[in-house]
Structure 1
Amino acid sequence: MERAVITGMGVISPLGNTVGEMWGRLKQGESGIRRIESFDTERYKTRIAGTVVDFDAEGRFGRKEARKMDRFVQFALAAAEQAVEDAGLSFEQIDRERVGVYVGSGIGGLNTLLEQDAILRGRGPERVSPLLVPMMIANMAAASISIRFGTTGPTLAPVTACSIGNTAIGEAMRLIRLGLADVVIAGGAEAAITELSVASFGNAHALSARNEDPARASRPFDTQRDGFVMSEGAGIIVLESLSHAQRREARIYGEIIGYGASSDAYHVVATHPEGAGAQQAMRTALADAAVQAAEVDVISAHATSTELGDRSEGQAISRLFGGEASQIPVTANKSMLGHMLGAAGGVEAIALIQSLREGVIPPTANLEQLDPECGLSNVPAAATQADMRIGLSNSFGFGGHNAVIVVKRFEG
């Protein structure tokens, strides 16, 4: 069975548009949450989000091509280009039929849909873009990456809400393990900070309303948390079979050694109150990796900063790891990045890879008083140095989708 290693990484995020910038700011505990400036938020309950700045799509892709892509596709393609360059892949020298693309989006081209709906209502059906559908549909990130690099292997756009990144990475790992691909470009992208989505999430009382203090709004596991902060971006990795990577003498960052998926079978929005599905996915991932609880050095939590979600995940971790739970540090990247929805898993996987490589656990920002109902006791509020080999990354989504990956520092 082939081993799946990480040879390239790419990021577009509220904390920076390269892996180096994002990771450096994450370690420092900086926040990417700011006031929304793309529309007037005066009547909205929530006026803040994790927005991507300094992203010049026209400068990167050219005006004509950029206008054919929704923002989520622009993010995905930019992150994929970074990852491919980082991996040193030359598609002229490898078999493109054995290169796959597994990249999804939870909401897809919502910006495009709303823009074209406004055109229809204001200017009539003759003015609606014929590219509306291909710009809007959620598979277009994966398709655009495949077209950009001319890859003809399996191409898939998983739609598992906010667990997409881990779903894509886990399924890509399986593809490589089975020998059905040599390389898979995997991850997720999202760009859904719109008037409609912010209004809807706000009316559902799901979003933080700390509008006067954006940097302190996302507070995973804290007693004063009041909801998640919407965010956007993309996180893409290049997964490769170990034999293929070694043949071309590629730099190897880490290894995906386990994957577990489950369904809560409980509610379309609310997580299972006891975290049953989360626990099942974590247990399955550890079994797939042949890893014992005591071998896990760090957990990257889904931890969106919602009351029920954080509590159920914390309790699931405590039940699964038992006495080991107090020894394993749990970190929550969304405290600084916000909730990147379908992009969250990919970006957080990259952060975990960097964490294992450098021996640094990023802080859980804004954690002032750990909620005892979360059942956790080891959530570092400041960056922590530690020698780590194995990490667990959790991603959960609406509809009860759960996806967990086990990442290992590469040791040959």
Structure 2
Amino acid sequence: MKPRRVVITGMGMLSPIGNSPERVLASLREGRSGVRNMPAWNAWKDLHTRVGATVEGLDEKSIPRESRRSMGRVALLAAAAAEQALAHARVDRELLRSGRAGISVGQTVGSPLATEMFFETMRTEGVRALKSTTFLQLMSHSAAANLALMFKVTGRVWAPAAACASSSQAIGQSYETIRDGYQDLMLCGGSEELHVTTAATFDILGGTSRAFNESPSSTPRPFDRRRDGLVVGEGAGIIVLEELSHALKRGVPILGEVLGFATHCDAEHMSAPARSGMARTMAACLESAGMRASDVDYINAHATGTPLGDATEAQATGDVVGGDIPISSTKGFTGHTLAACGALEVAFSVLMMNNGFIAPTLNLDDLDPACEGLRHVRELEERPVRRVLSNNFAFGGVNTSLLLGLPS
């Protein structure tokens, strides 16, 4: 069977810089940060970071009550983004029930708040006090399972859990599923719920930003000499992928196309990045699309603002594409939304392609010499963008690259 072309027909996003394409577009153009002070975290002993990137304005009641009962915030964010994406793509709900549509939505863990409540109730009140729906909120495939039930999806349902690479794996997995003829449409992406335990996890590894607690919008600082760690965030990004002729038959606008995908593992270290593994994944993605580095107009970097991670990624990127292609990290705007970041960054890249500009790396004021050799974008650039290489690199050495293009 000849590989089928896979296009993007809808996007839904809830992010620290906006909950609609229009709001996100304005934030990217205006350099508006979504990072804010987290005063509630002052209560936690020995927690150094006091900044986070939250989603404001989630209307939980927009989700039907019968669906909400088994959803924690991580699933609610995914559901709201999915509703937005399906409306954007004008998807008939009967199509979702046909068996030819599927779901791949990742999350790092189940709802942290639901997990906290589960164990606190069990500890203080005993097993009989537990709610029967709490486990459904804290299970690691809560977002995917809840979306499948909410939309009555009878096709394939996957729930990648690879931390920062979760939603880019979900998109790549969906791309391959449609390309090879197993489904005609996939609802894919990822969701992340912010909780103090997430901040603490990175804090004890020395990975969080702490020098800018009094000036939240000044951090994170990807590739900058003064970067001091990542800022944990939350959000959800859901993408509607569809086989090209299927989309044309439905008569819906085509926003972009997935041209290539690769995911590989370093198999070297649980938390330290590997230059060779990152480079191998980027090169494999280009090869899968039959493209060369010179065919790429922009690179959306994973760069989270950690000293080692950004430098390693910069070196690996230079190994594959050289130093002429514009590169920026949109995490300067959103912080690190973990399982949601890959899908949100795909959405941001599609917005940039369709509107002819490249957003800069926010807070990149003084380039670290360890990150030199690339064409860093420090101010907004108005220019045509036809193809984007979007990269994400996760703990465990799990690497992903997606190649996106404008429809041709």
Normalised TM-score (structure 1)? 0.95
Q: Deviations over 1:301-331 (max 9, x none)?
A: 0000001100011000111123xx2x21101
Aligned-partner Cα distance in 2 for 1:137–1:5: 31
Shift of 1:65: 4.3
Name the residue aligned to 1:408. 405
Contact 2:276 2:316 in 1 (8 A): yes
Name the residue aligned to 2:53. 50
Contact 1:255 1:410 in 2 (8 A): yes
DSSP-derived class of the 2:396 partner:
coil
Shift of 1:37: 4.6
Q: Deviations over 1:140-198 (max 9, x none)?
A: 2111111122111111001111011111111111011101110000101010x323222
> In structure 2, do the counterparts of structure 1 residues 37 and 13 end up closer, same or farther at CA, with 3 Å as the change threshold?
farther
> In structure 2, do the counterparts of structure 1 residues 127 and 93 end up closer, same or farther at CA, with 3 Å as the change threshold?
closer
Aligned residues: 404
Contact 1:41 1:47 in 2 (8 A): no
Q: Note the 1:369-380 alignment, pairs <5 A.
A: 369-380=366-377
DSSP-derived class of the 2:221 partner:
coil
Name the residue aligned to 2:279. 279
Aligned-partner Cα distance in 2 for 1:63–1:248: 31
1:363 paired residue among 345, 352, 360: 360
Contact 2:223 2:310 in 1 (8 A): yes
Contact 1:96 1:150 in 2 (8 A): no
Shift of 1:33: 0.4
Shift of 1:132: 2.5
Name the residue aligned to 1:202. 203
Aligned-partner Cα distance in 1 for 2:339–2:328: 19
DSSP-derived class of the 2:9 partner:
strand
Aligned-partner Cα distance in 2 for 1:99–1:37: 43
Contact 2:166 2:340 in 1 (8 A): yes
Name the residue aligned to 1:12. 14
DSSP-derived class of the 2:332 partner:
helix
Q: Deviations over 1:227-249 (max 9, x none)?
A: 00000010010000001001111
Name the residue aligned to 2:318. 318
Shift of 1:199: 2.2
Aligned-partner Cα distance in 2 for 1:287–1:20: 34
Give the aligned CA root-mean-square deviation in angstroms. Answer: 1.5
Return the letter of the residue paired with 1:311.
A
Return the letter of the residue paired with 1:47.
R
Shift of 1:403: 0.6
Name the residue aligned to 1:215. 217
Name the residue aligned to 1:171. 173
Q: Note the 1:13-412 alignment, pairs <5 A.
A: 13-37=15-39, 39-41=41-43, 43=45, 44-57=47-60, 59-61=61-63, 65-92=67-94, 96-191=98-193, 193-209=194-210, 210-272=212-274, 275-322=275-322, 325=323, 327-411=324-408
Shift of 1:62: 5.0
Q: Deviations over 1:81-102 (max 9, x none)?
A: 1000000011225762010101
Return the letter of the residue paired with 2:75.
V
DSSP-derived class of the 1:117 partner:
helix
DSSP-derived class of the 2:124 partner:
helix
List runs of 5+ in structure 1 lacking aligned partners.
Answer: none
Contact 2:96 2:151 in 1 (8 A): no
Return the letter of the residue paired with 1:277.
G
Identify which range, 208-217 or 136-145, moves more after superposition. 136-145
Contact 2:191 2:237 in 1 (8 A): yes
Shift of 1:347: 0.1
Return the letter of the residue paired with 1:198.
A
Shift of 1:63: 5.5
Shift of 1:27: 2.0
Contact 1:302 1:396 in 2 (8 A): yes
Aligned-partner Cα distance in 2 for 1:41–1:11: 31
Aligned-partner Cα distance in 2 for 1:93–1:185: 12
Normalised TM-score (structure 2)? 0.96
Contact 1:29 1:382 in 2 (8 A): no
Aligned-partner Cα distance in 2 for 1:71–1:32: 19
> In structure 2, do the counterparts of structure 1 residues 265 and 94 end up closer, same or farther at CA, with 3 Å as the change threshold?
closer
> In structure 2, do the counterparts of structure 1 residues 42 and 95 end up closer, same or farther at CA, with 3 Å as the change threshold?
closer
Shift of 1:220: 0.2
Tell me the percent identity: 36
Shift of 1:23: 2.3
